[in-house]
Structures are given as structure tokens and as C-alpha cells.
């Protein structure tokens, strides 16, 4: 069965899922998206993802042509049409076709599409043995320029930092904000453990409020771990007992080296393992 893509209300074969080169999403990165996961046929935290999609759209004054309920139904319908149970789902809304100019008012109708596919960000051995990352020189976008809470189609800021990571022989990079504090990685939120307490940068540090991040915070609080959302420096990362990243695609991946410095014992720590196991249970149980 050929893969199907939901495109503006219709399920079409992947090779026929096309939009015009005059779409402002392509020309200017003018649009928003969500990455969602399904496990055993169930879409994980669908309502939260859809709400964030609409929040991002409102932030750039883009009107989504469906209700939140209809978007959720389209996600589930696309998943079922492709016969997939464990999948990565990408929902994209663009400004639509316009002219060769910035004026969004010349885009009368948004384009929307939904893709269901597989995604593997990191090899399995990194979940078992831990990931090495660096600190990027590329600064996270200033919140008053392009707010990182908007999950927009313009990911060039993240891509530039990702290139730095690849050049350094690693797969991920920490990005600092305009004040020099730790914000997030190119595609994941970051956590550290120090003296049995869990730390992660606050929303005000200029991060995307991750759905998986929120889930880990909920798991940690339910386990009676002390949780702090506060500004972190690179030194806080270097002296941490444990470190790990979270994201919809990445899930929970431990970090064992940052900027050539070994974190803790150099192996995934017990708190990281416990949180990852509970996340696995919640998503697949």
C-alpha cells in the first residue's frame, strides 16, 4: 500500500502530495508545525500537541482552517489510513500560496498537510551508553526576535547549531540564550541531575515548552523528586551528576560528555534510567 499524506482535507499518495513553489512556507519559512508520536496505535498527548499547534499559529497570526477537534481527527485518520501503530506524525500549516513578497495578506488560503512515518534520531546504543554533545557558538534566537515558543517552519537557527555539532563529530549541541544561560539543544530540551535534584531551564530562558519535557517533569514530581526550573550555566552542566535530553522524536536520551568533559560517572545515571523507564511505561504500557 502506497503511503498516504493528508493534504488540505484529502488523503493522497505521497508522490502526489505537492504544494506550489509560491507557498510562503517554502519561500519564507512562514508556517508552523508539530511533531507527534503514536505508540501501539494511540497518539500520545494529542490534545496538548494540537493546542500548541494553535498557539504557534496564533503567535504568527496564521488562521488554521480547521477546529482543534478536526485537526485531531485528521491526525488519527491519517495514521489509520497508513496502517501504522508506532509512528512519527508531522502536522504542518503554511501561510499558503502568495506572491514574491513578504505581505502575508497576499496569501488567501493556508495549506495544511499531515505526514505519518518512522523516525530514528539516535542509534539504540546511545540510549544504552549515552550521548556526547557540545556547546554551540550559535546563540538561541532572542525571544523578542523570533520567540522559541513558536514552533515555526524557520529552523535555520537550530540548523546552524546542528552543523556545529556535526563538525565536532557529535550529534547534538547545547544552545545558550542571549544572556549566556543554557536554553536547549537543537531539537531537544535538556535536564541535569545534581545531588538528587532535577534541574531544567525555565520557559523564560528562551526554550520551546516540550511535550516530553512536561511529561518528564510530571513523572519526576510524582516520584517525589525535587524539581527546579531555573537558569543554568555551562558550569552547571559540567559538574552535573547526570544529564539527559528529551523530545518527541528523541524521547529520553542520556548525555555522558559535554565539551569533552565527562558527566558524572560517564554512564547513564540512575535518575535518568528511572525517568526513562517510567516514560516508556506511560507511552507503551
User: Which residues are tagged catalytic?
Assistant: 151
Q: What are phi and psi of 135, to 5 degrees?
A: -95, 125
**DSSP conformation letters of 94-127:** E--B--SSS-GGG--S-EEEEEEE----S-HHHH
Helix %, strand %, coil % of the chain (to 5): 30, 30, 40
Q: By C-alpha distance, which of 12, 35, 22, 26 is closest to 210? A: 35
Instruction: Give the cell for residue 101.
Output: 513578497
Count, residues in the chain: 285
| 184: number of Cβ within 10 Å | 26
Amino acid at each position: 500500500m502506497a503511503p498516504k499524506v493528508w493534504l488540505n482535507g484529502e488523503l493522497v499518495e505521497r508522490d502526489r502530495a505537492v504544494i506550489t513553489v509560491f507557498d510562503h512556507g517554502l519561500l519564507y519559512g512562514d508556517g508552523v508545525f508539530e511533531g507527534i508520536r503514536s505508540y501501539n496505535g494511540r497518539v500520545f498527548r494529542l490534545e496538548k500537541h494540537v493546542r500548541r499547534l494553535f498557539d504557534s499559529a496564533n503567535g504568527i497570526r496564521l488562521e488554521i482552517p480547521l477546529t482543534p477537534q478536526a485537526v485531531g481527527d485528521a491526525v488519527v485518520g491519517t495514521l489509520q489510513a497508513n496502517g501504522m501503530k508506532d509512528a512519527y506524525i508531522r502536522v504542518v500549516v503554511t501561510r499558503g500560496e502568495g506572491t514574491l513578497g513578504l505581505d502575508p495578506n497576499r496569501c488567501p488560503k493556508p495549506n495544511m498537510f499531515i505526514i505519518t512515518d518512522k523516525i530514528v534520531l539516535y542509534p539504540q546504543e546511545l540510549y544504552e551508553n549515552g550521548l556526547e554533545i557540545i556547546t554551540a557558538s550559535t546563540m538561541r534566537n532572542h525571544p523578542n526576535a523570533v520567540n522559541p515558543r513558536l514552533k515555526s517552519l524557520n529552523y535555520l537557527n537550530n540548523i546552524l547549531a546542528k552543523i556545529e555539532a556535526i563538525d565536532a563529530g557529535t550529534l547534538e549541541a547545547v544552545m545558550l540564550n542571549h544572556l549566556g544561560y543554557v536554553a536547549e539543544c537543537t531539537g531537544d530540551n535538556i535536564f541535569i541531575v545534581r545531588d538528587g535534584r532535577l534541574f531544567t531551564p525555565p520557559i523564560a530562558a528562551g526554550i520551546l515548552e516540550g511535550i516530553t519535557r512536561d511529561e518528564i517533569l510530571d513523572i519526576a514530581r510524582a516520584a517525589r523528586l525535587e524539581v527546579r526550573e531555573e537558569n543554568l550555566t555551562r558550569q552547571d552542566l559540567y559538574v552535573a551528576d547526570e544529564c539527559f535530553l528529551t523530545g518527541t522524536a528523541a524521547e529520553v536520551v542520556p548525555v555522558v560528555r559535554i565539551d569533552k568533559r565527562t558527566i558524572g560517572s560517564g554512564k547513564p545515571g540512575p535518575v535518568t534510567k528511572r525517568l526513562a523507564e517510567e516514560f516508556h511505561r506511560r507511552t507503551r504500557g
